[in-house]
Chain A
């Protein structure tokens, strides 16, 4: 993927009037999250890690967003969604069963554990789950499709897009209090918003993004 907002780093605004103290604390905390599993056993955590790499693949030229650790923290801190589908167990139990089911399916189809099969093979297993083709075994009575849609996608994708690294990537302004925004109309950019690189103008954009504060 070519960079669309080259050189833009939402964290560079940390000390500007776009961030207040409570936001700084919250984001610092998120960036400092422990990488070790606290909720899932290491074996399941490794499977989760492999799943995260397929759901949100990350470029190799920057430190990855620690998605598995973020999901594990959601479970560890028992951060709830406010509802549960009647067919689904509570979130921790759902994740434990679902991850074990992916491992079982990998063994059944490829005779290896989920983290050991190739990326394409992992996608194949995940698609089977998405289509609801996995059942029984570790899943118990939990519908595979629902686990995929309402836990796998929801928890992993929400963790990624709540991270400043993701915001920088797609040019999101990020935190915006107390300063807010001024230029509201189409094709209007405040000086503290990311500059998008038009094709061939990546270097100009990179230069301007270095000054986005």
Chain B
């Protein structure tokens, strides 16, 4: 098989064509716009939020260009089975972290590629608990979303269908949902142990709904259980944006610009957004547009809005509430690890094949928020950093611990952290390779966050003890997904965008990614981001029809 030239060296989606991600060396035709074509929509970011929005807008007849700072990968040719090499999927540009509990960035939470973080995400595709959309009024913490869970339930169904989610016939928690489009994946050893532990505790568990196909779909063959999902799927079984909504978008007439970093959104004399300054092929360029959607995720979205400050908007765009960059949330991602007599070989298959959401739905606890836990299968480098980080092992003891690799088992949580204005993204005076100011990410856990984590660690430990794991230890410090920093709401004074992801201040500026979450919930966020994007596309169409764009 041929291996193509470096996708990071020069744009691939250019000159009227884009890579065919399903065919080595293949191309698909792509519409291209000129810079002074005033397109209907420019979308900045092509991940879980941007991808579906670009596709649906194009399918509804709008002219759309999707920009991504990252490269346009061909999974079949560019992806090696190797943790170190595949760092190329991550957003590794410099970011400063501080606060009481600094969030480690890079591979933990940010992608830089056409398809965004979904190119390397772990594919766990979960719905929110309905009450989370009204967590302030129904559960007494955080903030209410301006969305109705029943409407979201429909959009979840559409998202699950579009991503061919493989999951159980009956999902054990929450209101009824249709059966998943694809049958659940078989459990691996690590997932079997989660199931046994949950049953011993009297908790329900299920095969995790995953965005990787369990039977062929279109050009995607079924998952081959190679287990390198977090480092890109060279099989194309994974239903990332790169192989789902992005090809749809191009087929529907959208243009994708890879290696195109947007540095500034411009506004005109009437205060409306007029286009974007972006860096591609060695120089700054300008693209005109009628509407601009920022979908760069919870760090880059506020960074861009803040960096676009001008005389009219001295605090940054869409920031009259002062909330752009504030209320950053991550999710607690602590784990408990142990050793089994049996061989587990946890690296086989997607890492999180089984889940229990018990503590997302049981409210008998002395803290706010919920969490789930999942089976785990970290690859060697990641596992070694867990061992050194949590157990402080080095020298001979480190090598001895690593010898247990094929016998290790673990459970890892995804926990809800509460929004706080102290947790935020601001700009430093240092600049990056594009000459753009580097973000500073400040984060501290609250007492509630700590209580939730301790509860989860205790529960996961019990589960491991009940399956006979030995040499158990806790990983106390990990976090993962991001959210917040441009929250949606019903009041312009306490939110940045409306339920339609439209900014309150600038009617033709929209935000459609994980940043709009007012609260983060106790499940992985991407399916909710995608569901919101599908809804936003429908709302834009409805507003356009009424002449309200």
Q: Which of B81, B188, B398 contacts A184, CB < 8 Å?
A: B188
Bound complex: CA A82 to CA B87 (Å): 10
Give the residue name and chain of the A residue nearest to B97 (CB): A83
Interface of chain A: mostly helix, strand, loop or mixed: loop
Q: Are B81 and A177 in contact (CB under 8 A)?
A: yes
Q: Which of A57, A130, A171 contacts B405, CB < 8 Å?
A: A171
User: B77 on the interface (CB 8 Å rule)?
Assistant: yes
User: A175 on the interface (CB 8 Å rule)?
Assistant: yes
Q: Which residues of B contact A103 (CB under 8 A)?
A: none
Q: Which of B370-415 contact A (CB under 8 A)?
A: 379-381, 383-385, 388-389, 392, 394-396, 398-400, 402-406
Q: Which of B92, B340, B383, B394 contacts A80, CB < 8 Å?
A: B92
Q: Which residues of B contact A162 (CB under 8 A)?
A: 82-84, 380-381
Knowing A185-B187, A186-B189, say if A85 contacts B92 (CB, 8 Å).
Answer: no
The minimal Cβ–Cβ distance linking B404 to chain A, given in whole angstroms, is 8
Knowing A162-B82, A172-B347, A172-B405, say if A186 contacts B226 (CB, 8 Å).
Answer: no
Give the residue name and chain of the B residue nearest to A87 (CB): B98
User: B40 on the interface (CB 8 Å rule)?
Assistant: no
Q: Which of A152-194 contact B (CB under 8 A)?
A: 153-154, 157-158, 160-162, 166-167, 169-190, 193-194
Q: Which residues of B contact A188 (CB under 8 A)?
A: 189, 343, 345
Q: Which residues of B contact A27 (CB under 8 A)?
A: 80, 82
Q: Which of A126, A161, A183, A186 contacts B344, CB < 8 Å?
A: A186
Q: Which residues of A contact B404 (CB under 8 A)?
A: 170
Q: Are B82 and A84 in contact (CB under 8 A)?
A: no
The minimal Cβ–Cβ distance linking A205 to chain B, given in whole angstroms, is 13
Bound complex: CA A158 to CA B380 (Å): 9
Q: Which residues of A contact B342 (CB under 8 A)?
A: 186-187
Q: Are B92 and A170 in contact (CB under 8 A)?
A: no
Q: Which residues of A contact B400 (CB under 8 A)?
A: 1
User: A213 on the interface (CB 8 Å rule)?
Assistant: no
Q: Are B384 and A4 in contact (CB under 8 A)?
A: no
Q: Which residues of B contact A38 (CB under 8 A)?
A: none
Q: Are B389 and A149 in contact (CB under 8 A)?
A: yes
Chain A positions 75 through 92: 1 when the CB is less than 8 Å from some CB of chain B, otherwise 0: 000011111111100100
The minimal Cβ–Cβ distance linking B94 to chain A, given in whole angstroms, is 6
Knowing A21-B3, A57-B399, say if A184 contacts B98 (CB, 8 Å).
Answer: no
User: A56 on the interface (CB 8 Å rule)?
Assistant: yes
Stretch of B227-235, B244-252, B483-491 at the chain-chain interface: B227-235
Knowing A157-B384, A171-B405, A180-B226, say if A79 contacts B81 (CB, 8 Å).
Answer: no
Q: Name the interface size band of chain A.
A: 35 or more
Q: Which residues of A contact B394 (CB under 8 A)?
A: 54-56, 126, 153, 157
Bound complex: CA A55 to CA B385 (Å): 13
Q: Which of A158, A172, A196 contacts B385, CB < 8 Å?
A: A158
Bound complex: CA A59 to CA B270 (Å): 71
Q: Are A83 and B396 in contact (CB under 8 A)?
A: no
Q: Are A161 and B189 in contact (CB under 8 A)?
A: no
Q: Are B395 and A189 in contact (CB under 8 A)?
A: no
User: A20 on the interface (CB 8 Å rule)?
Assistant: yes
User: A19 on the interface (CB 8 Å rule)?
Assistant: yes
Q: Are A80 and B94 in contact (CB under 8 A)?
A: yes
Interface size on B, residues (CB 8 A): 72
User: B102 on the interface (CB 8 Å rule)?
Assistant: yes
The minimal Cβ–Cβ distance linking B438 to chain A, given in whole angstroms, is 9
Q: Which residues of B contact A180 (CB under 8 A)?
A: 223-227, 235
Q: Are B234 and A166 in contact (CB under 8 A)?
A: no
User: A124 on the interface (CB 8 Å rule)?
Assistant: no
User: B492 on the interface (CB 8 Å rule)?
Assistant: no
Stretch of B105-113, B172-180, B197-205, B450-458 at the chain-chain interface: B105-113
Q: Which residues of A contact B392 (CB under 8 A)?
A: 130
The minimal Cβ–Cβ distance linking B345 to chain A, given in whole angstroms, is 7
Bound complex: CA A179 to CA B98 (Å): 43
Bound complex: CA A169 to CA B186 (Å): 29
Q: Which of A20, A56, A85, A157 contacts B97, CB < 8 Å?
A: A85
Knowing A55-B395, A83-B106, A176-B227, say if A154 contacts B385 (CB, 8 Å).
Answer: yes
The minimal Cβ–Cβ distance linking A65 to chain B, given in whole angstroms, is 12
Bound complex: CA A54 to CA B96 (Å): 30
Q: Which of B156-213 contact A (CB under 8 A)?
A: 186-189, 192-193
User: B349 on the interface (CB 8 Å rule)?
Assistant: yes
Q: Which residues of B contact A149 (CB under 8 A)?
A: 389
Give the residue name and chain of the A residue nearest to B221 (CB): A178
Q: Which of A26, A83, A130 contacts B80, CB < 8 Å?
A: A26
Give the residue name and chain of the A residue nearest to B104 (CB): A83
Give the residue name and chain of the A residue nearest to B191 (CB): A184
Knowing A82-B93, A171-B406, A177-B234, say if A161 contacts B381 (CB, 8 Å).
Answer: yes
The minimal Cβ–Cβ distance linking B21 to chain A, given in whole angstroms, is 15
Q: Are B78 and A184 in contact (CB under 8 A)?
A: no
Q: Which residues of A contact B395 (CB under 8 A)?
A: 54-57, 123
Q: Which of A120-153 contact B (CB under 8 A)?
A: 123, 126, 130, 149, 153
Q: Which residues of A contact B228 (CB under 8 A)?
A: 176-177
Q: Which of A1-47 contact B (CB under 8 A)?
A: 1, 4, 18-23, 25-27, 30
Bound complex: CA A188 to CA B188 (Å): 10
Q: Which of B94, B223, B226, B380 contacts A84, CB < 8 Å?
A: B94
Chain B positions 402 through 440: 1 when the CB is less than 8 Å from some CB of chain A, otherwise 0: 111110000000000000000000000000000000001
Q: Which of B77, B385, B403 contacts A22, CB < 8 Å?
A: B77
Q: Are A189 and B84 in contact (CB under 8 A)?
A: no
Knowing A54-B395, A178-B224, say if A22 contacts B79 (CB, 8 Å).
Answer: yes
Give the residue name and chain of the B residue nearest to A171 (CB): B406
Q: Are B90 and A82 in contact (CB under 8 A)?
A: yes
Chain B positions 68 through 86: 1 when the CB is less than 8 Å from some CB of chain A, otherwise 0: 0000000001111111110
The minimal Cβ–Cβ distance linking A141 to chain B, given in whole angstroms, is 14
Interface pairs (16), CB distance under 8 Å: A22-B3, A30-B84, A83-B97, A83-B105, A83-B106, A85-B102, A86-B102, A162-B381, A170-B403, A174-B81, A175-B80, A175-B81, A180-B224, A180-B235, A187-B342, A190-B348
Pairs A-B, 8 closest by C-beta atoms: A82-B106, A180-B224, A175-B81, A83-B105, A86-B98, A176-B226, A180-B226, A82-B92
- A161-B402, A170-B403, A177-B228 known, 14 other contacts, Cβ within 8 Å: A4-B403, A22-B77, A55-B398, A56-B395, A57-B399, A80-B92, A80-B106, A81-B104, A83-B94, A84-B97, A158-B381, A166-B380, A170-B380, A177-B234
